[in-house]
Structure 1
């Protein structure tokens, strides 16, 4: 039986993941971490009476889990994953907001500890396929912009998925700058810039997670779009990650690299 600590168990994604794990053969929620939660809240978070609940990293002691599933917040994810690796727990991370330097640091720590794990900007299959298709299209359409739309409570911008999409596109196209002489009469109206790729972030109620990649060419255009209408759509990817994490030799970035 694989024991899973769900970090962010009191959040929406944490609760979806908990329900999925409860129904998954060979896995159990052995512990939960969340700001403000306490022992005695087991029924509230739909876990067994034997599940240990912690309100902070400082409270965690002993051998409590084999896998650390993280759905917390950008400010918490780096110390969380570092804690997991230092305690011999394999991380599966769905929280975005890690910098490139932080990812490299965690990858080195995982190597030093001899542990595998996964950091996935998005567990939705449609998002993974969007990134794959966008990377391919970039060979033929170097002029491209990205629009990502999320719920109003998402803390980081751009989304990890949009930034990963931009990085994949940049790998597969000639260096290119669109409209370098644009005059902005409103600061930052053209969005963020990753190697000449403009990224626009929308935060509105009613949205969950959505992304459009717009390619423009002479006399034609190509739009690739994915929509996640419900957080349950991410659980198929989480399930795959949990089932494969023990086979990984390092800290892998991107769900597409283990499919």
Structure 2
């Protein structure tokens, strides 16, 4: 280990360290330098931490943020749901790689990361507008998770603060009167049963999209929400919901009647489409049975 000092214009002494990195793809020498430490002890400690982080990260010859995060994503394919992995990829592609993708991962410090967050908050959104604080917090969590898995520790990184809200808790919850007004307006809509399930049962969009007739037992008055259908950047994904979201729902007479009416309406659509009907067994699909 070796650290060096230099003198500022005001006469104060500062310390810095330099460590060698693996050569790049063309065999050129690469180094990492950090300066500004108030004393030799602080510089030696930082140098030791940088070397330890580099060793734990097991970085290849490239070692860039873009390359190492891509490697991390490939590893997480083993234990992360496809939809979650797709979200990781989108965040990394849109918000991390454009600004810090070319930097060395283990050489990142809090100043670089904080500058990234500030830039995203100011101009990271569409058309150069601000990115929401909620999204920037997601960027922070994914970056910290990836760096933690890769063995890279950057001390002092601040999570962007939450957006200030006038009200807390759930937003956009309709009153019974509003719900009744909505359903009355859509009394003849071909997907009315979907809106009824969403309002009365609290069925999620992905659960409605993935719901098939074999999971609906109208004679028993039971609805099995054991599957969901959603979209990712790689296309449509069908999978079981997370944790306790997988559940059976008891249907009262009114809901059973709604679903029977929907079943009859769908049977008419099948007859009208004839051989052109694509029967995937979905409750809620287009008139020709297509679910995309």
TM-score (norm 1): 0.23
**Greater helix fraction, Structure 1 or Structure 2:** 2
Which structure has the higher relative contact order (CA within 8 Å, separation 6+)?
1
- Which structure has the bigger radius of gyration? 2
Structure (1 or 2) with the greater strand fraction = 1
Q: TM-score under structure 2 normalisation?
A: 0.22
